[in-house]
Structures are given as C-alpha cells and as structure tokens.
C-alpha cells in the first residue's frame, strides 16, 4: 500500500492555500461545502474552517491515489480500464454491516434517556422502529434557547419519518454543549450513512422512472428542476424548468438556494434546518449534475 509522507510542510501549506483560494474565489466544491455546512451547525466561520480541512484531506487522498496509480508495480498489476456510460446512481450504496448504539439525553436536566440503535436495517428508538427502506424524509433543525433574552443553549433535532411513523431525536446542550453537539453529529452521520444513502437511491430511481421529487419549493425530474419564476414577487407564477447543466446550488445563512445560472429570477430558496429532506439536496444535486455533464 502506497502512502505519502507529508513531512514537507510546504506541501501541506500549498494545499491549504489552494483550498482557501478556491473558497474565496467561489470556485469551491459545492458538495464538499454542503458537508462542511452540515458538520458546522450552520455557522459560517465554522463552515469555512471545516471546508478547508475537508478539501485539504481530499487533496492529500488524491495525491496518494495518483502516486499509487503511477508506480510501476501498480501499472503492471492493474488491467486496462474501459470507460462506459454510468447509470444514474453510480456509487455503491450497500451500507456496511454494522450497528451504532447511542444513549440520548433529550432533556436539559437528564430527566429521561432514550436508547437509539441505527443499523443497515433501520432506526430503533424506545420500541419505535422505522426500516431503512421505509424512510421518506430526514429533517435536521437547530433552535437557540433563551430565557429573558439570555442564550441558554441550543436544541439539536433530527427527525426521521416513514408514511406512518416518526422518530425524533433531540439533544439539548445546556449541560454539556460540546459533548452533546459531537454526539448529535455522530447520530446524524450514522443516519445519513444508512437511511440517507437508501433514500438517495430511491429518489434517483423515482427520477429515472419519470417521477418527481419535491423538496421545499423545488421539484426534481429527469429533464431538470422546476423552480419558481420570481419576476413578479406579488403573484405566484408557474414554475420554470431549469436543465441540470444550468442549475446552480449554494448554501448560506442556513438557507438552500437553487437557481438558473442564465436567469437568477428562476429560483427556489428554503431553510436547510427545517425543511423536510433539505439535507438531501446537496447529495441529489451532486448526483444529477454529474450525470448531466
């Protein structure tokens, strides 16, 4: 196995400079930015820091892969590759066979604890169970709590729903903010690893079969995304079809924005932290854009 020894500080410094320049110029990786935003609870400065860290890691991994492919032994062992058209969902979405167990204290004073189990089969919490293939929506939200205008902590909530069930995971960070925030992100990552990948696969299948996926004010179809025409702000006009090669995706201030790169009046903006399946827009956008390229 080939590795790169990054003892040369200049190499890492160059990667940090590249990641920072990409971010500041607007030429950033939107899927990676979305991941950084989700990890940072919507904080702009924390998102920038997380993005740079993730981008530097990505550049390191790319360097390792390049070195491995260019080595004489790797070239002699690897058969010639052929390129063929990829299906709409190209990644291996089979989740690893492992189960995550959590003890969740959703109350500010530890009055009650919940046991939580997340596995490839589904999500179980205090007797309630939603199978992975039945998950229809994943919603993430953060609420600033205050008493008489004084901030007293943040509530982190993740809701997973099927057609007839709902599991709500809520953590309140007044007692131990750092620990609870870390725990929340571990739970969110486990949910996205299993239920999120399954949901993304089913969304892609729906679109390829001619159906549509609605998230917030946007509708995703095989031909493109339907967005509202904001030319007349007073009246609600018919939505406009925007092909994926013209669709622009951005995050900021806790909002998801989808717009037409040729006409920004065609757009859809909704909250990342309260809209059902808003956390799926980034992965779905990345998938559809790659396939339309």
The model's pTM: 0.64
Specify whether 163 is located in the same domain as 225. Answer: no
Of 178, 204, 230, at which residue does a domain stop? 204
- Count of CB atoms situated within 10 Å of the CB of 150: 7
Same domain (yes/no): 224, 287: yes
Shared domain for 32 and 71, answered yes or no, is: yes
Asked whether residue 136 falls in the same domain as residue 160, the answer is yes
CA–CA dist 200, 247 (Å, integer): 19
Domain end point (choices 180, 204, 228): 204
Q: Is residue 83 part of a domain?
A: no
Torsion angle (degrees, nearest 10) of CA 3, 96, 105, 169? 120
User: Do residue 106 and residue 199 come from a single domain?
Assistant: yes
Is-contact 68 74, C-beta < 8 A? yes
Residues 6+ apart with CB under 8 A from 274: 139, 141
Q: Report yes or no on 160 lying in a domain.
A: yes
In a domain, 265, yes or no: yes
Task: Work out whether strand 150-161 and strand 137-147 pair parallel, antiparallel, or are unpaired.
Answer: antiparallel
Quick check: is 89 in a domain? Answer: no
Whether residue 91 lies inside any domain: the answer is no
* Lookup: tokens for 262: 């040729």
CATH at 161: 2.30.29
Query: 275 and 216 in one domain?
Result: yes
DSSP one-letter code for 157 = E
pLDDT for 154 = 72
State the residue range of the domain holding 40: 9-77
Does residue 61 lie within any of the structural domains? Answer: yes
Q: Which two tokens stand for residue 264?
A: 């920004």
Q: Dump strand ranges (E) for 173-262.
A: 213-215, 218-220, 225-229, 240-242, 247-252, 255-260
Residue 163 sits in the same domain as residue 180: yes
List of residues 6+ apart from 248 with CB closer than 8 A: 257, 258, 259, 260, 261
Can you give the pLDDT at residue 83?
Answer: 34
Q: In this predicted model, what pLDDT tens digit does every residue of 258-290 receive, in sequence order?
A: 999 888 888 888 888 789 999 899 889 888 877
Over residues 56-89, the pLDDT tens digits come to 888 887 777 666 656 555 444 444 433 333 334 4
Nearest to 182 by CA among 174, 171, 193, 191: 171
What pLDDT is attached to residue 165? Answer: 94
CA atoms of 275 and 268, how far apart (whole Å): 12
pLDDT tens-digit profile, the chain (293 residues) = 444 444 455 667 788 888 888 888 767 776 677 677 766 655 677 778 888 888 888 888 777 766 665 655 544 444 443 333 333 444 444 445 578 888 776 555 455 677 889 999 999 998 899 999 999 999 988 776 666 666 666 778 899 999 999 998 887 765 445 567 788 888 988 999 899 999 999 999 999 999 999 999 899 999 999 997 665 554 556 789 999 989 998 877 678 889 998 888 888 888 887 899 998 998 898 888 776 65
Q: How far apart are the two ends of the chain, measured CA to CA in Å? A: 33
Dihedral angle, C-alpha 98, 103, 105, 111, nearest 10 °? 150
Residue partners of 62: CB distance under 8 A and separation at least 6? none
Q: Residue 233, by phi and psi: left (phi above 0), alpha (psi -120 to 50) or beta? A: alpha
Task: Looking at the structure, tell me whether residues 161 and 227 fall in a common domain.
Answer: no
**199 and 229 share one domain:** no
Q: Does residue 280 sit in the same domain as residue 193?
A: no
Sheet containing 166-172: which strands, arranged edge to edge? 137-147, 150-161, 166-172
Instruction: Count CB neighbours of 75 within 10 A.
Output: 9
- Domain membership of residue 148 (yes or no) is yes
- Report d(CA 94, CA 227) in Å as an integer: 32
Looking at every residue in the chain, the average pLDDT score rounds to 76
3-state secondary structure of 112: coil
| Contact between 153 and 145 (Cβ < 8 Å) | yes
- What total of structural domains would you count in the chain? 3
195/121 same-domain check: yes
Question: 69 and 146 share a domain?
Answer: no
The predicted structure's pLDDT at residue 225:
94
In a domain, 151, yes or no: yes
In terms of Cα–Cα distance, which of 247, 244, 252 is closest to 293?
A: 244
What gap in Å lies between CA 85 and CA 64, rounded to an integer? 26
């Amino acid at each position: 196995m080939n590795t790169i020894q990054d003892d040369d500080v200049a190499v890492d410094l160059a990667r940090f400079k590249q990641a920072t320049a990409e971010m500041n110029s607007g030429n950033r990786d939107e899927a990676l930015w979305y991941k950084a935003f989700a990890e940072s609870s919507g904080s702009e400065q924390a998102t920038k820091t997380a993005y740079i860290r993730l981008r530097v890691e990505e550049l390191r991994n790319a360097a390792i892969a390049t070195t491995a492919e260019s080595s004489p032994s790797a070239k002699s062992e690897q058969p010639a590759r052929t390129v063929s058209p990829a299906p709409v969902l190209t990644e291996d979405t089979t989740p690893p066979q492992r189960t995550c167990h959590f003890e969740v204290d959703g109350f500010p004073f530890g009055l009650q604890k919940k046991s939580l189990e997340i596995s490839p089969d589904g999500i179980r919490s205090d007797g309630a169970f939603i199978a992975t293939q039945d998950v229809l929506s994943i919603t993430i939200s953060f609420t600033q709590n205050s008493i008489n205008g004084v901030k007293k902590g943040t509530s982190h909530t993740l809701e997973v729903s099927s057609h007839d069930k709902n599991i709500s995971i809520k953590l309140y960070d007044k007692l131990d903010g750092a620990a609870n925030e870390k725990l929340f992100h571990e739970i969110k990552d486990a949910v996205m690893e299993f239920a999120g990948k399954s949901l993304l696969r089913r969304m892609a299948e729906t679109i390829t079969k001619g159906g549509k996926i609605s998230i917030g004010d946007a509708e995703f179809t095989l031909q493109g995304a339907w967005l509202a025409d904001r030319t007349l702000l007073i009246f609600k006009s018919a939505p406009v079809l925007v092909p994926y090669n013209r669709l622009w995706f951005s995050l900021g201030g806790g909002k998801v924005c989808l717009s037409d790169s040729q006409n920004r009046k065609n757009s859809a903006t909704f909250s990342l932290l309260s809209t059902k399946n808003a956390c799926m827009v980034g992965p779905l956008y990345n998938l559809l854009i790659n396939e339309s390229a």
